[in-house]
Amino acid sequence: MMLYIQRHAIAEDGAPGGDDGKRRLTAKGREKMVEAAQGFRKLGVEFDAILTSPLPRASETADIVSAAYGKSPAPQVLPALATGARPTEVVSALRPFNKLDSVMIVGHEPQLSALASLLLTGSPAGVHMVLRKGGCIALELSKLERGGAEMHWMLTNRQLRKLAK
């Protein structure tokens, strides 16, 4: 399976003492993500499923990617992709999708980088990386298990947008 790990696009700043879970994408974040989604198309990337955190900034990002593909597949909420989830919880939640060829997950940092590290090295702290807003990592999984992945690429939102041109 190819697993595309996508961080949500640029979101509103959180209000002091406000609810982080209600943050939405900014107009600029939406605009940049629309262009980046076209970069996926130029790369020839296809998805059998798009899974998203239930938080608005992630689900809006997933909707933008889905729209670039004619809304097929439609995004599905995967609660384990919410902020604060452990990488092992995400791996368990992905098991029902293991038979698919290509899956995109959309979520948050630092969980996504820890998940990529777990899949690449067997440890959530095995490799230090930071997935920038709107960035994506492509992993090929021989098995959905610790250390069972090979990284194909890691692209920023800017790089994806340049591919679209």
pTM: 0.95
- Classify domain 2-10+23-164 by CATH number: 3.40.50.1240
- Residue 61: enclosing H or E segment and its boundaries? helix 56-68
Q: What is the pLDDT of residues 67-76, one digit of tens each?
A: 999 999 999 9
Three-class DSSP category at 12:
coil
Q: Decide if 34 contacts 2 (C-beta within 8 A).
A: no
Tokens linked to 109: 């940092």
pLDDT of residue 16: 63
Q: Give Cα 133 to chain centroid, integer Å.
A: 10
Q: What is the pLDDT of residues 115-160, one digit of tens each?
A: 999 999 999 999 999 999 999 999 999 888 888 899 999 999 999 9
Q: Map out the domains of the chain as residue ranges.
A: 2-10+23-164
